Chain A
Amino acid sequence: MSSPPTTDTDTDTERVADATRAVVAAHDPRTAPRAELFGALYDAGLAWVHHPEGLGGLGLSRGLQAVVDGIVTDAGGPRMFAVNPIGYGMGAPTVVEYAPDREQAAAWLRPMATCEEIWCQLFSEPGAGSDVAGLATSAVRDGDEWVLNGQKVWTTLAHVARWGMVVARTDPDRPKHRGLTYFVIDMEQPGVEVRPLRQMTGQAEFNEVYLHDARVPDAHRLGEVGAGWRVAITTLMNERTAIGGVTGRRGSGVIAEALGLWAEHPDRHTPVLRDRLARLWTRAEAHRLTLARARRTATAGQPGPEGSVSKLVGAELNQEVYEFCMDLLGPDALLYDDWTMHRADGGGRVHADPGSTLQQRFLRSRANTIEGGTSEVMRNILGERVLGLPGEPRSDSDRPWKEVPRG
């Protein structure tokens, strides 16, 4: 068995490590203002090492970003991804690939990296969830500008964002995937109204965004008119690459919550609950090991179906573990007295408040099988793209968007 292939030379790794240490030495990550530290990293090409030089990168392999992140976090610093996740993880690759020119790209990327300008993503609509390409927000050309009207939903961080990536319909007479155009919209203009979208947890991680004659200069269009779906795919494909992470130890993650509660409440043990927990533990372990196998085979250059399985299993397991915890809590599960509407603060906390209770996390877990691809869509993907089963018959493929029934 040969070693896994690697493209990162030791020289590149050292170069990146040395450059990062120099920035960290000059701007102590624990005390320097965030924008100063992040700005220095950007200027040294360490924000996205795989970007071209001058756009926050050094033209090196994407894998070397882990070297930078490791040194910065070890020194007590924050991560750009944690503060500006949509911009850092999804906006940046789209801007680098599709910005009209280098100056515009740099003008967006530096404040994105310093987190002085938070980004959000305006794709989903009340009538277009899993079927994003069916969206209805319109963009009509007016001289050197476009005028946008419509409603977006599930927009994380919109209330603190300076820029939004928006897909709008510029040609309702063409089939739905071909009449879309992609823009970067100024969120601080008058025609953009952001309302918190309160969830069943009581919190508001997301927003609704209303566009009333909101204007976008044509210079802020990414990609050709009518080619917005292709640009959107770049954004969507990058949705998780920035997250990465490591396989936790046995018994860590969400199953740890169930084990903790179990240990805490010996008085509530029953044989039925014990069997349920043993089942959940075993599945969590199979899931954890499968993630480790997926990572191993991906390193060896043979991507398998393991990765596609993980979203589906992880989401369902999360819900079932929390359902178990609530059952174990018994009547105490019913106690709850804080329905304060917490909002994501744009300071690195996007998801539920870290001080959240089990009851809140239980409620939040209902979203796991909906967000980032519903379990129904995930099963279609597994069936069609992994197993090669035929697609559902569709009535919308070649029809003009305006003739496709919506609701």
Chain B
Amino acid sequence: MAEPQEFDVTDEQQELRAGLRRFAERAHDETVLRALIDTGEGYDRALWARLGGELGALALAVPEELGGAGGTCVDQAVAAEELGAALVTGPLLGTVGLAVPALVAAPASAARDALLPELAEGTRTAALVAPLTVPYDAATAAAVSADDGRLTGTVDHVPDAAAADVLLVAAAGPDGPVLAAVDQGTAGVTVTPRGSLDLTRRIARVDLDGAPATVLATGDDADRALRHAFRTAGALLAAEQTGIAQRLLDLTVGYAKERLQFGRPIGSFQAVKHRCADMLVGVEHARTTALHAAWSVASGVDDPDLAVSIAQATCSEVCYRVAADTVQLHGGIGFTWEHPAHLYYKRAVADAALLGSAEAHRERIAAAVLDALDAGAVPAPKVATG
């Protein structure tokens, strides 16, 4: 059996996709979604536990010896695409995107080895407390200080924090960054839910006031774990954006075939047809760059940070654009509360803001690619000089 190459789709991945789609259709349809977003926690713990225990969708990229399925980031990206397509609620970004990869990359310890299987199974949930609206950099741990195992500081706009059993915190200690874990409800931990634009993924403010925490990693180890978490979450967020964009394209094309105006389906008008074609082009580029980022994170081929920035810059814009076009091409109905377009549109806006905007990632690309060019490193093209 040949090893899968980049962009191969394995039989296992196809089965995973089909299984998750069936699950979402049966257990998490639009009626369920709308009911869940009106609840206090915003998701269903029993359903979340099924995603982990029954479907194994939370542990795909966790090595077997740590209690996972031993898959890769590409497998996890396939799941993220499907769960995104159905707007499945739950602390996916916090737990699977950020906390699990941080733990996988952290040094072995009793606390880590006990927590990871629980998160993978879906019996507990987690969030990463760090500035999550900007790409990872040296300032990521600066908002919280770690002093002798006690955490103090405030971080706002933390996705999934209110729904998390465990908070993994990026903090600054005397010897560099610290990754520490603290349980929700511990003295000195205050999590305040904020009103969220994205109804399907909640954000909260986390105040830490000398909260006693378990230190999981320090210095270079903590930096490596956090960097890996941001990279993985970036690749999975891009996959989620791809899934959303694909679902909205399907929805819009279906509508454009059915909806009649001026005596013919609106999809027969070039103004509509060409916009759908542009949506398709966007979805194709999103899928490619998201898969490439996941492949790079999984295999180390290409520079994973650059690959993730390419994917984030591409997928954020595509998903946002496709969601806006979906509202537009559905006409009046697309602007109503009863139509699902707004739920996706709001997720698209939030996804584009998380882990660094498209502009922030383009800035990284510009720094890595353009600023690094030495004069003469690339042959200058022949220019007419009159």
A1 touches B11 (CB 8 A): yes
Within the complex, which residue of B249, B268, B369, B377 is in contact with A278, where a contact is CB–CB below 8 Å? B369
A382 at interface, CB cutoff 8 A: yes
- Residues from 264 to 300 in B contacting A, C-beta threshold 8 Å: 264-265, 267-268, 270, 272-274, 276-278, 280-281, 284-285, 287-289, 291-292
Residues on A with beta carbons closer than 8 Å to the beta carbon of B195? none
* Residue from A285, A309, A334, A383 having most chain B Cβ neighbours under 10 A: A383
A335 touches B386 (CB 8 A): yes
Residues on B with beta carbons closer than 8 Å to the beta carbon of A260? 378-381
Residues on A with beta carbons closer than 8 Å to the beta carbon of B385? 332, 335
A2 touches B2 (CB 8 A): yes
Secondary structure of the B contact surface, majority rule: helix
A26 at interface, CB cutoff 8 A: no
Q: Give B3's nearest chain A residue, CB to CB.
A: A1
How far apart sit A353 and B31, CA to CA, in the bound complex (Å)?
A: 63
A386 at interface, CB cutoff 8 A: yes
Contact with B along A336-369 (1 / 0, CB 8 A): 1110000000000000000111111100000000
Contact with B along A275-295 (1 / 0, CB 8 A): 101110111011101101100
Within the complex, which residue of A259, A281, A382 is in contact with B281, where a contact is CB–CB below 8 Å? A382
Within the complex, which residue of B284, B374, B378 is in contact with A305, where a contact is CB–CB below 8 Å? B284
Query: Given A357-B384, A383-B274: A290 and B284 within 8 A (CB)?
Result: yes
How far apart sit A251 and B377, CA to CA, in the bound complex (Å)?
A: 12
How far apart sit A289 and B294, CA to CA, in the bound complex (Å)?
A: 13
* Residue from A262, A334, A360 having most chain B Cβ neighbours under 10 A: A262
How far apart sit A342 and B314, CA to CA, in the bound complex (Å)?
A: 41
- Residues from 6 to 30 in B contacting A, C-beta threshold 8 Å: 6-11
A325 at interface, CB cutoff 8 A: yes
* Residue from A3, A275, A337, A382 having most chain B Cβ neighbours under 10 A: A382
- Distance in angstroms from A264 CB to nearest chain B CB is 4
B253 touches A388 (CB 8 A): yes
- Distance in angstroms from A356 CB to nearest chain B CB is 7
Query: Given A2-B1, A274-B366, A286-B288: A335 and B384 within 8 A (CB)?
Result: yes
**Which of A44-52, A72-80, A183-191, A389-397 forms contacts with chain B?**
A389-397
Q: Give B318's nearest chain A residue, CB to CB.
A: A286
B284 touches A300 (CB 8 A): no
Query: Given A290-B285, A383-B277, A387-B276: A358 and B382 within 8 A (CB)?
Result: yes
Residues on A with beta carbons closer than 8 Å to the beta carbon of B280? 305, 309, 382, 386-387
Residues on A with beta carbons closer than 8 Å to the beta carbon of B374? 263
- Distance in angstroms from B80 CB to nearest chain A CB is 18
Within the complex, which residue of A259, A285, A329, A390 is in contact with B265, where a contact is CB–CB below 8 Å? A390
A376 touches B370 (CB 8 A): no
- Residues from 328 to 386 in B contacting A, C-beta threshold 8 Å: 362-363, 365-366, 369-370, 373-386
Question: How many residues on chain B are close to A (CB under 8 Å)?
Answer: 58
How far apart sit A274 and B383, CA to CA, in the bound complex (Å)?
A: 20
B314 touches A286 (CB 8 A): yes
Query: Given A281-B365, A389-B268, A390-B267: A356 and B382 within 8 A (CB)?
Result: yes
How far apart sit A341 and B380, CA to CA, in the bound complex (Å)?
A: 25
B257 at interface, CB cutoff 8 A: yes
Residues on A with beta carbons closer than 8 Å to the beta carbon of B2? 1-3
- Distance in angstroms from B258 CB to nearest chain A CB is 10
B178 at interface, CB cutoff 8 A: no
Residues on B with beta carbons closer than 8 Å to the beta carbon of A306? 284, 288
Within the complex, which residue of B270, B281, B363, B366 is in contact with A313, where a contact is CB–CB below 8 Å? B281
B10 touches A251 (CB 8 A): no
- Residues from 34 to 84 in A contacting B, C-beta threshold 8 Å: none
Within the complex, which residue of A1, A357, A360 is in contact with B10, where a contact is CB–CB below 8 Å? A1
Query: Given A290-B288, A356-B382: A1 and B268 within 8 A (CB)?
Result: no
How far apart sit A131 and B365, CA to CA, in the bound complex (Å)?
A: 42
How far apart sit A313 and B282, CA to CA, in the bound complex (Å)?
A: 10
B285 touches A287 (CB 8 A): yes
B382 touches A293 (CB 8 A): no
- Distance in angstroms from A376 CB to nearest chain B CB is 7
B310 at interface, CB cutoff 8 A: yes
Q: Give A334's nearest chain B residue, CB to CB.
A: B386
- Distance in angstroms from B358 CB to nearest chain A CB is 9
Within the complex, which residue of A289, A376, A379 is in contact with B292, where a contact is CB–CB below 8 Å? A289
- Distance in angstroms from A86 CB to nearest chain B CB is 28
B268 touches A393 (CB 8 A): yes
Within the complex, which residue of A263, A305, A358, A387 is in contact with B383, where a contact is CB–CB below 8 Å? A358
Residues on B with beta carbons closer than 8 Å to the beta carbon of A287? 285
B5 touches A277 (CB 8 A): no
B270 touches A296 (CB 8 A): no
A297 at interface, CB cutoff 8 A: yes
- Distance in angstroms from A339 CB to nearest chain B CB is 11
A263 touches B384 (CB 8 A): no
How far apart sit A379 and B384, CA to CA, in the bound complex (Å)?
A: 35
Given contacts A1-B1, A257-B381, A262-B370, list 9 more A-B pairs with CB under 8 A.
Answer: A259-B378, A263-B378, A274-B366, A281-B369, A282-B313, A305-B280, A380-B270, A387-B277, A389-B256
**Residues on B close to A: CB < 8 A?**
1-11, 249, 253, 256-257, 264-265, 267-268, 270, 272-274, 276-278, 280-281, 284-285, 287-289, 291-292, 310, 313-314, 362-363, 365-366, 369-370, 373-386
List 6 A–B pairs whose Cβ atoms lie within 8 Å, in order of A's numbering: A281-B369, A293-B288, A296-B7, A296-B8, A356-B382, A387-B277
The 4 closest A-B pairs by CB, nearest first: A335-B386, A383-B273, A357-B384, A389-B267
